[in-house]
Amino acid sequence: MSTAIEELPGRVAVYVDFENLVISLYDATHGEGAWRRDDARKRATPAIVDKLESARLDLDAIIDYAASMGVVTICRAYCDWTVPAFAAYGRALTRRSVDLVQMFPMSGSKNGADIRLAVDALEDLERFPYLTHLMVAAGDSDYVPLAQKARRLDRRVIGVGVAGSVGRYWELACDEFRQYDVLVTLDDDDDDDDTADEATDETAGSGTEPAADGSTPDAADAPAEGTKPQVTRRRRGARKSAEGTPGETTGQVAEEPAEEDSPAQGSARGRRSDDPARTARKLLLRALKLGHEQRTDDWVPLSMVKTLMLRLAPDFSERAIGFPTFSAFVESHREIVMYDTDHNAARLASMGKPRKG
């Protein structure tokens, strides 16, 4: 089976203990035990609505990371979707073709998602021998037996969890484990790139010249490189919907931004679709970052870059934005991507000078 994994693209099965992640992120954002103290499941007051929005889970970051390992063949999320705090994610999850598995509470607040998830995962691994990767997004050490069984079946086990709520034994049982914060940070870089683009556009429009070092007047406002972002850093849309109209005190579930329903390249996050060139540029950056995560070599083959871009946004086409070939598209972004024509590979310009052939 190892040979098949090397020759063919991976096939990834993703299983998400959704309630576990949402509660863990809420507690990480608002303090340990905040979910229980606030009784956030009921989403009863405007204050709780705001707190839920500020701790909104970005499942796209998890699915995109899974896509960097291969084709996401199965993607299921387990939760009690009758709870308003979780039902608010329904449209976003459906857009990513996530299979929503309903889990009614069996006793108290325990819904048995961990057992159902493990049973489904083992059944799928037995039924579908082509699956190469098992990704479980949860922090509970109860999943250790699942990881052990999957490894005996020669599957690679990837775990994802929210920092501060991950069982140590579960983390050690995985072949690879990623903190949710790290995956979101990859996308934060995309948001920062947007801000930089906007600042550049404004500078060009106003006639303001950049500084000698190439920076713009807004560069001082940028976060220092290497600084770890806060968990809630990228929830821009959530903050906007939480703010609402001044004086508004409704306790209803906030609707997701309408623009998220429009087609958009790059992991379906509702990114700008009015400027295809900008969207494609961001998608290229995202694919390169994910490619670097999967390789020890800094250089990512162009074939891999395009494959990742198509996994993240199946509607991507370099011809649609005026480029005859994919290599021409990459070469047009020399300011952010270094292209090695001898080896037909690329890497982020920030990673250094190109190697000598």
Domain CATH for 328: 3.30.420.610
pLDDT band at 352 (very low <50, low <70, confident <90, very high): low
pLDDT band at 186 (very low <50, low <70, confident <90, very high): low
For the segment 138-145, the average pLDDT, to the nearest whole number, is 92
Q: Which tokens go with 255?
A: 């609707």
By DSSP bridging, strand 300-301 and strand 345-348 are antiparallel
Own/partner contacts of 335-342, CB < 8 Å, gap of 24 or more, are 336/193, 336/281, 336/284, 336/285, 337/284, 337/288, 340/299
User: Contact at 8 Å (CB) between 307 and 316?
Assistant: no
pTM for the full predicted model:
0.66
Is the pLDDT at 264 greater than 90? The verdict is: no
Q: Looking at the structure, do residues 245 and 275 belong to the same domain, yes or no?
A: no
- pLDDT, tens digit, for every residue of 148-169? 999 999 999 999 999 888 998 9
pLDDT at 146: 95
Tell me the residue range of the domain where 165 lies: 1-261
Q: How far apart are CA 86 and CA 109, in angstroms?
A: 14
pLDDT at 273: 47
Higher pLDDT, 186 or 47: 47
Helices and strands (H, E) in the chain, number of each type? 15, 9
Which residue is associated with the tokens 């190439």? 214
Q: Looking at the structure, do residues 307 and 178 belong to the same domain, yes or no?
A: no
The DSSP-derived string for 269-330 is: S----S-HHHHHHHHHHHHHHHHHHH-SSS-EEHHHHHHHHHHH-TT--TGGGT-SSHHHHH
Is the pLDDT at 133 greater than 70? The verdict is: yes
pLDDT at 121: 97
User: Contact at 8 Å (CB) between 12 and 72?
Assistant: yes
Is the pLDDT at 31 greater than 60? The verdict is: yes
Q: Looking at the structure, do residues 273 and 317 belong to the same domain, yes or no?
A: yes
Q: Looking at the structure, do residues 166 and 89 belong to the same domain, yes or no?
A: yes
User: Contact at 8 Å (CB) between 72 and 63?
Assistant: yes
Of 236, 261, 286, the residue at which a domain comes to its end is 261
- pLDDT, tens digit, for every residue of 41-66? 877 788 999 999 999 999 999 999 99
Q: Which tokens go with 122?
A: 């083992």
Is the pLDDT at 91 greater than 50? The verdict is: yes
- pLDDT, tens digit, for every residue of 101-119? 999 876 655 668 899 999 9
Q: Looking at the structure, do residues 49 and 82 belong to the same domain, yes or no?
A: yes
Q: Looking at the structure, do residues 283 and 250 belong to the same domain, yes or no?
A: no
Q: Which tokens go with 297?
A: 């070599």
